[in-house]
Amino acid sequence: MNVYTSPKNGMHILSATVAGKRYRIARGATTQVRAQAAKFASDIGNGEPKRSVEFSQKKLEYASSLAYGKRLPGAVYIFRPRPSDVSPERWSTIRRAEIAARPDPSWNLLKIHTDQFALTFLGYPEFDAEPHPALAEATKINLNTGSVSRTEYRRRPNPPILHRQETFLPSDDPRIPQYAALTKCEEEAGLYRDPSRIGLRVQWLSLLK
């Protein structure tokens, strides 16, 4: 087991190899993140990495049993969950991943990858203000290795945008009727016939002309 400093961002990285497999977690300066790293180190040191849920070799099998969310090939997208929206185990996994990944605190959409063991925290600042809000930032954490990647979209001229916002929300969310009504109108107008033209802002605006 060892700790080294990343040459890219100066972040401390805790790593260990168990049964020929390498496990890593980024370790920051905050007390919470240090606690995460200590827990991870304890699990690895005991030869039981599976106790640390987000660093096990399993994919997020529970994604298929979520009560809500937009299901697409390779992932399920849900609006930022409350403790009551998911099981205690899932809530713990999400919270621990958030502490380790340190996304923008205002993230409001969670991408649960189903083709890999990872979570991506997505930020759509205008989710409630724009009919088709643009993605501002994405922070992905690989839950096997602990590696984190961030992608900034705020200055991009053609960022990804959302449609069918009602599909991301839990069934008791009061915003569902208004989003569903918008979706129905756009479907009736034929705007969703070609999905390849609606996912990015420039193509969408061109479609509306």
Query: How does pLDDT run across 61-101, given as a tens digit for each residue?
Result: 556 668 899 999 899 999 999 999 998 989 999 999 999 99
One-character DSSP codes across 30-96: SHHHHHHHHHHHHHHHTT-GGGSGGGSS---GGGGG-SS-EEETTEEEEE---GGGS-HHHHHHHHH
List, for residues 18-47, the tens digit of each pLDDT value: 444 454 544 443 455 445 545 544 554 454
Mean pLDDT of the chain: 80
- Give pLDDT, residue 75: 93
- Per the structure block, which two tokens stand in for 119? 């979570």
Segments making up each domain of the chain, as ranges: 1-51, 56-209
Question: HSE on the CB side for 123, CA within 13 Å?
Answer: 17
